[in-house]
Structures are given as structure tokens and as C-alpha cells.
Amino acid sequence: MLNEFAYCPRLFFLEWVQGEFEDSADTVLGRAVHRRVDRETGVLPLPPAAPGQEGTAGATVPETIHARSLLLSSARLGLIARIDLVEGEGTRVTPVDYKKGSVPDLPEGAWEPERVQLCVQGLILRETGYDCDGGVIYYAASRRRVPVAFEETLVARTLALLAEARRIATAGVIPPPLVDSPKCPRCSLVGICLPDEVNLLAAEGEAAVEVRRLYPARPDAAPLYVQAQGMTVGKDGDRLVVRQKGKVEQAVRLIDVSQVCVFGNVQVSAQAIAELTARGLPLCHFSYGGYFRGLTVGMGHKHVELRRRQFAVAADPDRSLHLARAFVVGKVKNARTLLRRNHDQAPRAALGEMARLARLARRAAAAETLLGLEGAAGRTYFAHFAGMLRPREGTAPVFDFEGRNRRPPLDPTNALLSFVYAILVKDLTVTCSAVGFDPLLGFLHRPRYGRPALALDLAEEFRPLVGDSVVLGLVNNGEVRPADFVRRGGAVALTPEGRRRVLAAYERRLDSLVTHPLFGYAVSYRRVLELQVRLLARHLLGEIPRYPPFTTR
């Protein structure tokens, strides 16, 4: 903990106050280096004359001490440490801390955060009653031991950092991001911290901030969809195994899975559910027809303060309206862009009307007015939606579009729109939950039993860019056919094969790269969804003055 604070106070706050953590190559390699020392071996009994303690009854300190993975604490200092290795003779001991990297070229022989961490271990050993004048840092890449003396200056620095860390944690205000720091690119929490993005938006154009893309454009893991009825999902070692009537149909490493989505009568074993919840991977439940029913998650995010801010803003009509305007403006502008780019003959009157409605929405004085403007923009947009559909010869009547309808959809195009919107809301529900929000409480969509209102809020600006774009591609490229739909009493639904085609197109869309209009770097749409949710969190926590909707040019 103190190691992180000495390195970056914001990293300390994110990890130890807000409960954030993400693995990186460095953290994984670090755990690998610690595998040997993490096995608890050896003993370290209390010295017979430990200050303020009676020692271990009947125990004597061995002549040679060699104990691994020791968990010790000091009530006076309020510190807990797991020490990789303690070695020594009699009552004189030396803590040894393992690091995966190489010895740095520094006069002290080690970075300050590493020396501070080792000093904490030495102070706790002193409190336990042992003599401890120094420690050792072992750098695995160099295979070298670097001695660190616990001089008065290092002890004073360690205690000062401890007091400052306590003050910041108690205050509950996250420290500002580092500015153009070389520490950021290797930080495992950089995609959560968003240092350059927060600095840019906080400055509001008053300072020139260069935004670096400090995290991968695409996430490594992807959703696993299981929709064939009667399938089972089980766990086998570090893999999820999908079976049909006992036969293995698919096996996926858990490290490659971001979420599991099951449709209808698909069974998931208790072992698989336990592993998913332990890893923080959501299990998403859909009806056979594709309606998003719910989410199975673990204990949930620890970020209570974010939810408190969310509830406070949702209860404030003025602040809720401020956010609702951003969602609606983003939606209208993106719908206008899609219409302008994809319509055979872009209707100037409609484009002008949508631009006017976006301007009015930005200044709407009441929620009722804003909803009326959103509805007017939606009617204008869908009145010309058919002009963007260019189905292949022989399927045109199937994909005729006369307006938006749902619950249930009455034609194949609306069936596609409803299904893709449901998948989009599912992804944003998962992301909101992962960031620390309550997905059921929104600012534009008012609370309703069981409805993920916040996910629906954030989905607005992505309905045209993701949902509608996927539908246009499916129809115009001939990826869906009349045989992919089934009619029941006037309602239209997708067949399992049709859903498979839609899910494949949807995942391709989320995997495609787009240049961020504010930050200038290219990221996938899936990463953009997460980025927008995190920017909303940064706004509610007071780090940036406004929430910027994602709009393409």
C-alpha cells in the first residue's frame, strides 16, 4: 500500500480506497516471481524479551531464521505487511523483498517506493521485538541482492508518507492525475485512472494537454455466447467447456472471456458460476427470444462513494437534467451523422431539423421538454431510416421499414433493431456494474422496477453508431435472409441461426476501431463504451466539470 502511495498517490487511492485493480503483464510476471516465496515455510517466534509482550511461552529463538511469506502487523503503527523472506540469526533479522525487474542505476541501488516498502517491513519487525537495521531487495531479472540500510532519513520519510496516505484516504478526495508522467504507461490501472483524458477535460481548453493512448485499443477478452437449447456450461481447470448432450462443442480459456451470455434453457454448473463470480466475470441471462433478463455477478464493486454520488445526482432534478441533455444531444447528433452518411439522397430538411432539435436539447429547461425534443428527433430519423436500407434483390419486401415498433417487433428490421439494442444495453449494464455504478438508477430514464435505467441512458448515444449501424450492415450486405426470421401471430423474431449472425456482426462492430473525437487516438467501440462510463464516473466524482457525449464527426 505505501509502495503505491510513494509511487503515485492517485494509484494508491484507486487501489486501496476505491478498490480498483486490473492485471497487467507486470503484475502477472510479479506474481510468478513470488510463487516460491509465497509458500509459507519456516517460523518466526516472538523473542522472549519482545517490548510490551511476554514472548512465546516456552519458545526460544532459533540460531538461524529462514521464514517465508510472513504476515505481521503493528498495532502502534497501524501497519500490516506480508514479508517475502525473513532471514537472520538470534534476534537480529533481515527482511528480503523480491522484485521481478533489474537493479536500477541509482546511487541508492533501489527506487524510493521499494525502499519505503522494505522499511515498513523493518519497522514492523522492530515492533515485534527483533533487531532490524536493514533489509535486502532481490531483483530477479539481475539475480542480485541490493542491501538497504534503515537510516533515520528513510525511516522519517516512511513515517511521513504513512501519515500523508492516512490523511488522503480519510479525506476521501482522489489526488489529481500525474501530468505527462513516464510512470503512467506501465501502470496497470492507467485505463481506469485516465490521466491524460482527465487532465484535458479538467482544463477545458485552458491548457494544452497531449493525450496519449496508454492502454490497448482493444481488450484481450471477449464475450462467450451460448444459445443452443439444452447446452451446458461447465468448468474444467482454467477453461469453460460448452457441451451438447455430453459432447464438447467448445472450450475457452477463462482468461479469454470477458462475460458469459446464455439464452433460454442453457444450464451453467455451480462450479462455473463460482469461478466466474470469483474472477469478476458477469453471467448474463437472456430469454429464448433475446430479452435481457438479468445479471449474475460476485460481491459487486467496492466503490461505495461513486454510488452515493450517483444517488445524490439522480435525486437532484437540475443535475440530472444536465446529464440527460448530454445523452440526448449525443444521440441526436449521431443519428443525424448516420443519416447523412448512409442515405441515398440525404434529406436536407430532415438533417436541418435534427440539427435544430439538437441545439434546442442542449438548452432544454425541463425534463419534459427534453423528452419531447428527443421524441421529435426520433420520429424525423426513423421517417427516413428506410432510405438507408438497400437490401439485396429478392429480399426487399422482407426488409420494408415503415416506422419503429417493438414489444413485439412487427417486421424483420424492427426485430433486428430490438435485438441489437438489447445486446447493447446488456454490455453497458455489465460495464456500469464493473465501474461501480448501480445500473438501475439513471438520469434520463427514470427508475422503473427491473429496468437498467443508467445503461439505457448511456446507450442513447451509441444506438445509431453501434445498433443501427449493425442492422444496416446486416441488411445491406445480405448477411441476414428471410429464413432467419420467424412469424408468430404478427410478431417477428429471429431464429437461433439469425441471432448467431447478428451477434457475429455486433461483435465485429464493437471490435472495429474509431478515432476518438476528443482524444485523437484510435480505440475499439467496446473500449469506447467503457471509456464513456468511466468519464461519467469522473464527472460525478468532481474531477471533470461535464460529461462529454461521444459523437462522431
Q: Where are the beta strands (DSSP E) in 76-221?
A: 79-89, 92-99, 134-139, 144-149
| 17 in any annotated domain | yes
Query: Which of the listed residues 273, 296, 319 is the one where a domain comes to its end?
Result: 296
Question: Average pLDDT in the 335-356 region?
Answer: 89
Q: In terms of domains, do 251 and 145 share one?
A: no
Q: In terms of domains, do 123 and 188 share one?
A: no
* Averaged pLDDT of the chain: 87
pLDDT at 224: 93
User: How far is 333 from 339, CA to CA, in rounded Å?
Assistant: 10
Neighbours of 85 (CB within 10 A): 22
| 239 in any annotated domain | yes
Query: Which of the listed residues 266, 296, 326 is the one where a domain comes to its end?
Result: 296
Q: In terms of domains, do 335 and 251 share one?
A: no
C-alpha closest to that of 416 among 401, 430, 428: 401
CB 94 within 8 A of CB 145: no
Q: In terms of domains, do 255 and 115 share one?
A: no
- Residue 248: pLDDT over 70: yes
Give pLDDT tens digits for 113-157: 899 999 999 999 998 888 999 999 998 888 899 999 999 999 999
Number of domains in the chain: 4
Q: What is the helix (H) or strand (E) element at residue 152, kind and residue range? A: helix 152-171
| 548 in any annotated domain | no
User: How far is 68 from 56, CA to CA, in rounded Å?
Assistant: 19
Question: Average pLDDT in the 100-119 region?
Answer: 89
User: How far is 25 from 341, CA to CA, in rounded Å?
Assistant: 41
- Residue 57: pLDDT over 50: no
CB 454 within 8 A of CB 443: yes
| 546 in any annotated domain | no
Q: In terms of domains, do 211 and 226 share one?
A: no
Q: In terms of domains, do 185 and 284 share one?
A: no
- Rounded to the nearest 10 degrees, the angle between the axes of helix 525-540 and helix 304-314 is 80
- Rounded to the nearest 10 degrees, the angle between the axes of helix 496-511 and helix 525-540 is 70
Q: In terms of domains, do 497 and 401 share one?
A: yes
What percent of the chain is predicted at pLDDT more than 90?
47
Task: Categorize the per-residue pLDDT at 22 as very low, low, confident or very high, splitting at 50, 70 and 90.
Answer: confident
Give pLDDT tens digits for 176-226: 998 988 988 888 889 999 999 999 998 876 667 788 888 888 888 889 999
pLDDT at 516: 92
Query: Which of the listed residues 241, 268, 296 is the one where a domain comes to its end?
Result: 296
Q: In terms of domains, do 276 and 196 share one?
A: no
pLDDT at 52: 52
- Rounded to the nearest 10 degrees, the angle between the axes of helix 525-540 and helix 195-203 is 60
- Residue 368: pLDDT over 70: yes
C-alpha closest to that of 485 among 290, 224, 278: 290
3-state SS string over 376-394?
HHHHHHHHCHHHHCCCCCC
| 311 in any annotated domain | yes
Domain of 189 in residue numbering reads as: 181-215
- Residue 131: CATH number of its domain: 3.90.320.10
